[in-house]
Structure 1
Amino acid sequence: MIRESYLASADAAAKLLAHPAVAERWDRPSALTGYTVGGLAGHLAGQVNVVAKVLDGPAPDTDPVTAVEHLLNARWLDAEQDGEVHRGIRASGVQYAQVGAQTLARQTAEVLECLRRELPGQPARRVVQFPWGPPALLLDDLLLNRMMEIVVHLDDLAVSVELPTPEVPAAATDAVIGLLAAVAARRHGPVPVIRALTRTERALETIAAF
């Protein structure tokens, strides 16, 4: 189910990248602080490209962590927006975007077609890791991680170019919400998250996962 949901979410990303509104506003500031529309589009495209790189990468020799553990230990989680980690993330998006809007959209669609062929046949318990190194994750947990990025940044990019946020299947948003809720509960405690969902009069001002 995660593989199908990831591919559907990646398809929504590819279609948004190809929308003329993205090219028209390429060099303008986006809704996400520190990113131009082009840089944000590059970052979104990276969530498709990196999966292809992962599938071509070597098998790690360490035990996998869960998707929640991976997020909780991510270097960017509490890093300063102007610090080295986030500067590097933004630079990666800019690098992807250097080819221009039309080429980026075309390349992303081509990578997605490859993933449609390759992902379904991957072993159920395949262990992988990102190109930048440990920790290792199960492939489906890595796909959940990248799907979270896609769902979040679909909204960022759509808002940036004044388009409706693309729809993705309920299975995708259910999985992403579950991941974010689990991270939020680990960071703020389960009670504040439950209150935010059921008792707004006692809810904290924010239970943001990050």
Structure 2
Amino acid sequence: MRGLAGHLACQVLCVAPAVMGPEPREPAVPLLGHCSRVGWVGGALGARASVRVRQDGEETAADGYAVLTARVISALEELPALLGAADAGRPVRIPLWGPWSLCLDDLLIARMVEIAVHDDDLAVSVGVSVPGFPERAVDTVFVLLTRLAWRRHGTAAVLRALTRAERAPASIAAF
């Protein structure tokens, strides 16, 4: 669970360095293009990209819960001013991705998806209810996840899963 908590924290902790860092020279790709490029999508748990994600989470949380919590709270306190002054279309990059960047808005949407997914993972792991999210955030997360599921499984599968249980496929998982 420590690694999962660390990975979840990384979704907040990575934003300020990405925004405050130099503008990347790598090409910016659309959000769906980013999702099709990252190594962990569709990868096995033992795949290099998946192992690296888990290791980074473990390292981020290595100093314990109290330190990790303090780091996230501090980052959350600084983000409104930082993001308020930033250009939403500015390219940003997280080095773990690969040789591409995203616009800031797309980076934030990707972080929202990660937070929603891993909040659920962590809640299930510790036996608590999944925290609620603002409707606007849920809308944003569901739009991306639905588009990814549609791209992966096709129109009929997603439509049936959402409307016709008797004809629904076993899964329309986005990843």
TM-score normalised according to structure 1 size: 0.79
Higher relative contact order (CA 8 A, sep 6+): 1
- Is structure 2 residue 16 aligned with structure 1 residue 39? no
Task: Kindly report which structure 2 residues correspond to 1:1-210, keeping only aligned pairs within 5 A, or say none.
Answer: 37-132=1-96, 133-210=98-175
Conservation of the 8 A alpha-carbon contact between 2:40 and 2:47: no
Shift of residue 62 of structure 1?
A: 4.2
- Partner Cα separation in structure 2 for residue 62 and residue 90 of structure 1: 25
Contact 2:113 2:141 in 1 (8 A): yes
SS in 1 for 2:84: coil
Deviation, 1:140, is 0.4
RMSD of equivalent CA atoms: 1.2
State, as a whole percentage, how many aligned pairs show the same letter. Answer: 44
CA drift of 1:134 comes to 2.8
Which stretches of structure 1, 4 residues or longer, exceed 6 Å deviation after superposition?
Answer: none
SS in 2 for 1:131: coil
- Aligned mates of 2:144, 2:87 — CA distance in 1: 23
**Counterpart secondary structure, 2:122:** helix
| Kept after mapping to 2: 8 A contact 1:127/1:136 | yes
Q: Flag the 1:88–1:124 CA change in 2: closer, same or farther, 3 A.
A: closer
Per-residue deviation, residues 165-208 of structure 1 (Å, max 9, x unmatched): 11110111111111011011111112211111111211111010
